[in-house]
Structures are given as structure tokens and as C-alpha cells.
Amino acid sequence: MRLVDLAATVPGARVVAGHDVEVRRAAHDSRRVEHGDLFVARPGATTYGLRFVGDAVARGATAVAAQTPVEVPPGVGLLLVPDARAALGEIASVLAGRPSEHLRLVGVTGTDGKTTTCHLIGSVLAAAGRRVGWMTTADVRVGDDVRPSVFGLTTPEATEIQRTLADMADAGVEDAVVEVSSHALALDRVRGCSFDAAVFTNLSPEHLNFHGSMEAYAAAKATLFAMLDSPTAKRWSRMGVVNADDPASPTMVGASPAGIVSYGLEVPADVTAEHVRLGIGGSRFRIRTPVGEIDVETQLVGRHNVSNWLAAAAIALGWGIDLTAVADAAATTAAPPGRFQRVQRGQPFEVVVDFAHTPRALETTLATLREMVDGRIFLVFGMAGGRDAGNRPTMGAIAARYADFFIISTDDPMREDPREIADAVAAGARQTGAEDGVSFAIELDRREAIRQLFRRARPGDAVLLAGKGHERRMLVGEGAEPWSDTDTAVDSLADLGFG
């Protein structure tokens, strides 16, 4: 596309040099620029893309987009935009062929449950005969191909989003479900996406070091619902889906120009559940809607996953999909990797790997385990560096209330001292009455922490490995080291003679 033609699609854009320069795709990382790319120089948290214009041009960028003037060599195009971060989404979408215009697109946001809810919605749409794709923290599905996510972010940058959506459209995908984080909304990563449905799961304190307040956090989530008024040529009806049990839902409803379908377990809603029966191997319940009801049996565990299935059923209700598709999907759909994932190698106690890394998620998972096992609950977890420090003592207090014994260990410390993180978690545990060496311990070697708990466990007990879930790396300093809770659990059980 000629730079001048591209400029016409970006509000407020102005070509300063190289009107007829051809650009092939958008790039935001100068290290990944290829010949023919348009390099978008964005302001960042720690650096500014303007510093890397020379590197991008040297690697083959034929044009640069920036929100302030910058010198470029002769023959290289320059596009001035009001906001480089917002422009990146629009530019990436246009150069990828506006792929979301060829997909029925669902966005799922909330503090917890996003990945699972994406999987469940995708499974329901597939059961209804649609060709489905999804993009989540854990994995990416393009038609029949499912692969682990390599983005390292809940919602990747705009360039990766648009290229992945384009891959889906090229593969004949009809419906796509995207996990949308508050960071992605606040930083315009999903700009250029045309959403047909927005889904809200819940809100609890998280990322407040970024957003500043719960009000700002909720407002960021509500941006997804506000995007339901973006211009589109698609004919699908648009809708918002909200969890009526969560007090932040009115914020989402207020931002939505589209009609709302509600779901809930505790308060009246359009989609509800009754006769709920929970077990360590799955759940059974009856879904009730204004157009009918149906019995559901699922492998997924816990009341929170009943709620997630109701969110998927709400999508079905809003788009006129028969409830049998929900029941069919529930009968065959497994939990996403690292979401209450049982590790069974013949040991006489339960081992569960779960991504629970927020206070609400950890409490929910521990409470679910407490309802399902007769013996003791052991827990190993940590807290990531660079996240809300205020959540650290809260996590310690939750562990003290629910676990019979827990070990505070390492979890993506990044540039922080893991001992200082663990001490902050331990402080919350002590304030709740937990005693060092009696109720809990600190062992920063996560592998050794897991082994210690396995040696303590007896028949009927449960060991929860929380925080890492599907992840296969540990972020330490500026780099990453190989790590998997699931693989470590399997190896440690084998050392004990199981499997």
C-alpha cells in the first residue's frame, strides 16, 4: 500500500515525506523489522521508539510513523500521527487487510477466568458448526491447529493481534475469541479490532500499580464494551455479556451501546444455573434461560467454572444458538492448560496445577479444593515481581486461612529480590496467625518446595501448585529460565516411585 493511501485510513495522519513509498506491514520492534515494513515509533514505559528509527531503517523499513517529527533518510517515508500507540492498531489492521471485518469477533475481559471463558465460548461456537479460532494467555487456535501462545502477554501487541486474526481469516475461521487484558485496552493494543461481542467475567484488585485505582481499572475494562459502536460492514448483531454477580458489571453496561445479556449464580440474570453438583472430577448443573433450559455435565471443576459456562451460554442465547450446543461442548471440553489441571501418576493424593496468581483466584481455587478433598491441603506459590505489592500480604493471609501447610516460593521475580517478595507474603500470613515452621515455610527453590510438599502428603490430601499454570518459563532478572510446574510435578512424583 502507498503511504499516502494508508494515511487516508488513519484519523489525523499526515504524510510528510515519501507519499508514494510502498509499505508492506506494520512493525513496532526495530529488531524485527523486515524490508518494506512501516516502523511505528511509539512512546513506551522505559524507552521511546524514536531512539530506534535508524536501526529500523537499516533493517529495511521503508517508512516511519511517529507522533513528533523525526529525521529520516532520503527515500524513506514519514507519517505523522496524533498518537503513535493508537495509530499502530489502525495501521496494523489496515495492512493486514482488516481481518476482524471477516470474523465474528468476541472479546473477553475481567480479572480472572478469561482464558477458560474464551475456550468455553469457542467450544460452544464450534459445537454449533462454526469454524473457530481463539487467542488466549495459554494458547492460540487457528481452525484445527492449537498451539501454545508465544506472545508472553495476555493480549499481544497490535501487530501480532492483527497478523494472527489475518491467519484465522485466511484459514477459513468464522468466529474468533480473544482474551483482552486491561493493559491491552489502556494501551490501544486492540485498536483496529471490530468486536461483535464483549464479555466481562469479574473484577478484583489487580494491576493497580498500573491503573492507580479500582475505578480506573474498571473503566479500562469497560473500554471493550464501548468499542461495540465502532463502524463495521458486518451484519452480526452486537451484544455485551456481563456477570450479574459482580458489582462492577453496571460500569460495563453503562459503556455498552449494544444490548446486554447477563449471567449469574447468586442474583437474577438472563442465564442462571440450578441443581449445581460439584466434584473433583467435574460438575453437573442445569442452565436456565428465557428460551429454555438444559442439563450440563462438564469436566471443569468448581462453581467459578459453572459461572464461566454460563458466560458461554449467554453468547449462545444472544446469537440464537440452540442450548444443545452448550451441553455438547461441555461434555467434551477439557480445561485449558494449567487451569485446575490434575496431575495423576498413581499417587494416593491429589496434585493440582493452577494459574491462580491473584488473591481472588487463589482463594477461589483453595475454597474449591477444600470442598472436594477430605484430607489436608498443601500449597506452594509465590508472587511475581513488578506487580501490585499490596497483594503480597493478602495472598499470604489467604494461604493461611485455607491451607493446612504452605510454602512461599519463587514466581517470576524479574528484577526484584525473591526473598523480599516472600517476606512480604509471609508478613500477611503471620498477621493471620500463621506460624513459621508450623503453618508455613519459605523455600525459594520452587522445585525443592514441591518435593517437600509431596513428601508430606498422605492419602486423601491435596497439593496445589499455584501461580505458574501453563507457563513454561521463569522470569528472573532480564531473562527467562525454563520452568514448568506440571513437568516438575511429574518428575518429583517419579522420584517418589509414582508413574
Query: What pLDDT is attached to residue 499?
Result: 83
**Shared-domain flag, residues 57 and 116:** no
Distance CA 314, CA 194 (A): 20
- Residues 105-134 have a mean pLDDT of 96
187 and 302, same domain (yes or no): yes
On whether residue 412 sits in a domain, the answer given is yes
Q: Does the pLDDT value for residue 45 go beyond 90? A: no
> Which residue matches cell numbers 453496571?
250
Residue 400 lies in a domain: yes
Which of the four pLDDT bands, split at 50, 70 and 90, describes residue 250?
A: very high
Report the CATH number that the domain containing residue 147 is assigned in CATH: 3.40.1190.10
Establish if 93 belongs to a structural domain. no
Q: State mean pLDDT over 71-98.
A: 94
Residue 472 has pLDDT above 80, yes or no: yes
Residues 113 and 149 in one domain: yes
Q: What's the pLDDT at 204?
A: 87
CA distance 64 to 148: 32
Q: Which of 332, 350, 371 is the endpoint of a domain?
A: 332
Q: Can you tell me the mean pLDDT for 206-231?
A: 89
Across residues 425-437, what is the average pLDDT? 96
Average pLDDT over residues 258-286: 96
Question: Are 82 and 118 contained in the same domain?
Answer: no
Lowest mean pLDDT among 24-28, 148-152, 159-163: 148-152
pLDDT (0 to 100) of residue 152: 74
Q: Report the pLDDT averaged over residues 311-334.
A: 97
Q: Do 279 and 389 fall within a single domain?
A: no
Average pLDDT over residues 428-445: 96
For the segment 99-113, what is each residue's pLDDT rounded down to a tens digit?
999 999 999 999 999
Same domain, 66 and 107: no
Cross-strand bridge partners of residue 408: 381, 442
pLDDT tens digits, 187-208: 999 999 999 999 999 998 776 6
Is it the case that residue 212 has pLDDT exceeding 90?
no
pLDDT for 43 beyond 90 = no
Mean pLDDT, the chain, whole residue set: 94
Of 40, 107, 49, the closest CA to residue 77 belongs to 40
- What cell was used for 289? 434461560
What was the pLDDT predicted at 77? 95
The arithmetic mean of pLDDT across residues 68-96, rounded, is 94
Q: Are residues 48 and 117 in the same domain?
A: no
State the pLDDT at residue 467: 95
What per-residue confidence (pLDDT) applies to 101? Answer: 97
With a cut of 80, say whether residue 409 has pLDDT above it.
yes
Q: Which of 233, 203, 189 is nearest to 88 (CA)?
A: 189
- Domain that residue 35 falls in: 3-88
pLDDT tens, residue by residue, 233-245? 999 899 999 999 9
The percentage of the chain sitting over the pLDDT mark of 70, rounded to a whole number, equals 99
Query: What is the CB-side half-sphere exposure of residue 256 using CA atoms within 13 A?
Result: 23
Percent of the chain with pLDDT over 90: 89
For residue 209, pLDDT over 80 is answered with no
Q: What is the CATH number of the domain that holds 80?
A: 3.40.1390.10
Q: What is the C-alpha to C-alpha distance for residues 210 and 304, in angstroms, rounded to an integer?
A: 26
Q: How many domains does the chain have?
A: 3
- Residue 12 Cα to chain centre, angstroms: 32
